[in-house]
Amino acid sequence: MTGVETRSVARDSLFLLADIWVEQGSDVHRVRVRNLSDGGMMGEGTMRVQRGNRVTIQLRNIGKVGGTVAWVQDDRFGIAFDDEIDSQKARRPLQTADDPAAAVVKASWAHRAPPPPHPAQLRKI
């Protein structure tokens, strides 16, 4: 692995706890969220998941988010969210429903991947 960053989406390292449900299972698992972006997260826990599993994650200040397991390595796994979230909202102090600050959230679109190149610009191998 090189020191060159190849990700197109910024991720924030953090340490949060979240609850997760795997596919149609009724068991709730507590996992550590190691990093979080608007499009996905890396989690860590003793539960067993496989690439492609459908999951639901309960994130602080955000609520339930659906997603798919994108990769698994040892006790860590990556989840791609079905819909984008405001990942900065999870960093804020716990908000209640009667908190007026909870209603003021501005979506950030700065993390979007660049458009694909024009086919004429692609290098042939």
Q: Which CATH class is domain 12-97?
A: mainly beta
Reply yes or no on whether the pLDDT at 20 is more than 80: yes
- For the chain, the average pLDDT equals 80
Q: Do 34 and 45 meet the contact criterion of CB atoms below 8 Å apart? A: no
Domain extents for the chain?
12-97
pLDDT digits (tens, 9 = 90+) for 22-67: 987 778 999 999 999 999 999 999 888 999 999 999 998 999 999 9
Which of 10-19, 21-30, 93-102 holds the top average pLDDT?
Answer: 21-30
Compute the distance between CA of residue 4 and CA of residue 2 in angstroms, rounded to an integer: 5
**pTM given for the model:** 0.65
